[in-house]
Amino acid sequence: MQRNNNCALVLCAMIAATGCGDSGSNGGTGGAGGGPGTPALESLSEAPTFAVVSSDFSSSSIAVFDAEFAPLDESWINSGTEFPGLVAALSGDVVLPNRQASDGTFALLDRLGTDVVSRFYVPSGNLDGQVRTQGEAMDVGFSSNPQDLVFVNESSAWVTRFGINLDSNAPPENQGTDLLEIDPSTMTLTGGRIDLSSLNTTGTVMTDDGPVEVTVYARPNRAVLVGSTIIVGLDRLSGDFDAAGPGMVAVVDLLTEEVEGLLLPDGLLNCGNAVPVPGASDRVIVACLGFSQTFGNEPETRASAGVVLLSVDGTEATVETTWRASTEPTSAIAVNNLVALDQNRVAGVDWGDSVAETGDVMSVTNLNTGAQFPVHGSVGAFEIGIPAYDPDSELIFVPDAGEDASTVFEYAVESDSATEIRTIDIAVDLGLPPRRAYLLN
C-alpha cells in the first residue's frame, strides 16, 4: 500500500474522474492467493470494532479502531491507496453501511459520481471485490449515488440508489430511485432490482411566474432490515431539491419484492435517515430533517422536522412514537446525523448558522417526553458529524470537523447529561477532518 504519494493521488484522481478499469458487465473484481481475496491493504492486528471516515470532500481516509477505540490504523485506506484490481479510487464522498455483514468483511460505499461498493476482509486487509452500482453510464452522466447497503444473506445485499435518471429508455441498471441487488459472495450485480418510483409524488415550487408543479422523487437513502422486510427512508425531493413530498418510508417485502409506502405523521418532510435501534431488532427510528424552499428558514424547517419510532411486525410497519421539533419552540432541532441510543432516546445535531457564526449542537432527545440535554458543541456550523454509539459501554464518539481539527470526542451518556471522557486525534498529518463514525458490529 502507498500512502500520501503524489503520483498515486494523481493516478487515483484520474481513475475516479474517468471511471476507467475493466470491470466487465457486472463491474465485479475478486481474486485468489494468500487467503481469501486479493492482497490490497495492510493487515490489522485484529478485526476493527469502530471506524471513522475523514474527508475534505475531495479526498477521504478511513481509520479503524479496536473495542476500546484505540487506533488499529489511523489511515487504513485513503484516496492515495493503490491496489490490484482497483475499479475506482476512494473519493471524497464515502459512507459505511448502517450495518456491516458481520461475516469477516468491511464494506464501504463511494457515492455521487463514483458509484462503487468495495469490500475487504478483516483483519487481513485483502480485497474481496468492488462493484459499480450501475451499468456503464458515463455517456449519459447518470450517477446512481448509492447511500446504503443492506446485507440479507451471503448471496444477497441491496443498495439504495438515491440518483434519478430522466431518460425513460435507460436500462434498469441505470434507472435509479430503487434498490439494486448485489451478490456479496462474488461482488457482482445479480440483475435484481426493486423499483421505488411508484412512491414518487408531486410538489409545488414558487417562481417569479407563480406556482409550478414538479415531480418529487422517492430518493431512497438509509435503510434497515427487519426479518425479511427492509424499511427504507425516503427523502422525497425534487430534481432540483426545491420541493419536498410528505414524509414516507418504503416497506419492502423481500419475499415477494412488493413495495408499500408508509406515510409518516402529517407535516414531517425529508425523512430519509432510517437507523437501527440498539436492543430492539423490531424497531426502526426515522429522522425527518425538515425542509424549507429558502435555505436556512428556521421556522419552516422546525415545522417539518422530527423523529419517528416505527414498530415492524412481519411486513407491517406502524408508527409508535413521534417527536416533533415544533412541539417546543425553544427545543434544539436535533435531527441531523442522528443515531438511536435505544427505542426512547436519540442523539442528533442541530445545525449552526454560518452567517450568524453560531456552532452546531449535538443533543440527546427523549422521544416520549421531549426532554433534551446537550452533548457536544462545535465552534462553527456544519462541523459535527455522524456519531458512533456503543450501547454496551454507553459511550458516544462524536467527530468534529472544525477548523484545524482532526478530533473525535468521547462522551459517557448518562440519564440527563453527558460527560466528556477524552479526545482522540486521528491522522493529524493528513489534514482531513473527521465526518462520520461507525460502530461496526
* Confidence at residue 355, expressed as pLDDT on a 0 to 100 scale: 86
Average pLDDT over residues 173-202: 96
What percent of the chain is modeled with pLDDT above 90? 80
Cβ neighbours, 10 Å, residue 225: 21
* Confidence at residue 323, expressed as pLDDT on a 0 to 100 scale: 98
Residue corresponding to grid cell 443492506: 150
Q: Mean pLDDT of all residues in the chain?
A: 90
Hey, what's the cell of 183?
A: 451478490
**Going edge to edge, which strands form the sheet with 94-95?**
94-95, 105-110, 116-121, 127-132
Instruction: Provide Rg for the chain, Cα atoms.
Output: 21
Q: What pLDDT band is residue 405 in, cutting at 50, 70 and 90?
A: confident
Q: What pLDDT band is residue 25 in, cutting at 50, 70 and 90?
A: very low
Cβ neighbours, 10 Å, residue 213: 10
**How far apart (Å, rounded) are the C-alpha atoms in residues 247 and 53?**
29
Q: Please say if the pLDDT value at position 28 is more than 80.
A: no
Residue corresponding to grid cell 412541539: 327
Question: 153: which residues sit within 8 A by CB, 6+ positions away?
Answer: none
Q: What pLDDT band is residue 26 in, cutting at 50, 70 and 90?
A: very low
Least confident of 138-147, 344-353, 389-398, 400-409: 138-147
What percent of the chain is modeled with pLDDT above 70? 90
Q: Please say if the pLDDT value at position 10 is more than 70.
A: no
What pLDDT digit, counting tens, does each position of 295-335 carry? 889 999 999 999 999 999 999 999 999 999 999 889 999 99
Q: What pLDDT band is residue 293 in, cutting at 50, 70 and 90?
A: confident
Hey, what's the cell of 308?
A: 419517528
Q: Please say if the pLDDT value at position 342 is more than 70.
A: yes
* Confidence at residue 289, expressed as pLDDT on a 0 to 100 scale: 98
Hey, what's the cell of 247?
A: 414524509
Closest CA to 252 of 296, 220, 205: 220
pTM summary value: 0.91
Hey, what's the cell of 80?
A: 492515495
Q: What pLDDT band is residue 85 in, cutting at 50, 70 and 90?
A: low
